Amino acid sequence: MPALSAAEITTHQTKVPAWKVENGELVRTFQFQDFLAAMRFVNGVAVLAEEVAHHPDIDIRYNRVRLGLVTHDAGGITTKDFELAAAADNLI
C-alpha cells in the first residue's frame, strides 16, 4: 500500500477532522473521565488494531490517550491509517 500524497491526506482528513498530521504521523489525543475509561478505550483500540494487523503508537497519561498512526513499511500515512483513525473515533 503506497503512502498518500499531501493532497490525498488533506482529502482524507475531512472524514476524521479531529486528527492532525504531526511529524509524519496521523495523531489525535482523546480525553476521558478517568483512567479506567481511558484504559477501556485503549483495550478497544487494541482489538481493532489486531483485527486489521495495523498497530498504533499509544501514549497513556492518566485520562488522556494519544494515538499515532503511520504505515512504516509504506514510509508514510496510508488509507490504513485513516481507516483505523475512523474506527477509533467510533469507539467514543
HEC secondary structure over 34-62: CHHHHHHHHHHHHHHHHHHCCCCEEEEEC
Expressed as residue numbers, the domain containing 19 is 6-91
Domains: count for the chain: 1
- Does any domain span residue 80? yes
25 occurs within a structural domain:
yes
Domain-embedded: residue 24: yes
1 belongs to a structural domain: no
**What is the full per-residue pLDDT of the chain (92 aa) written as tens digits?**
899 999 999 999 999 999 999 999 999 999 999 999 999 999 999 999 999 999 999 999 999 999 999 999 999 999 999 999 999 999 99
Q: Is residue 56 part of a domain?
A: yes
CATH of the domain at 25: 3.30.1360.20
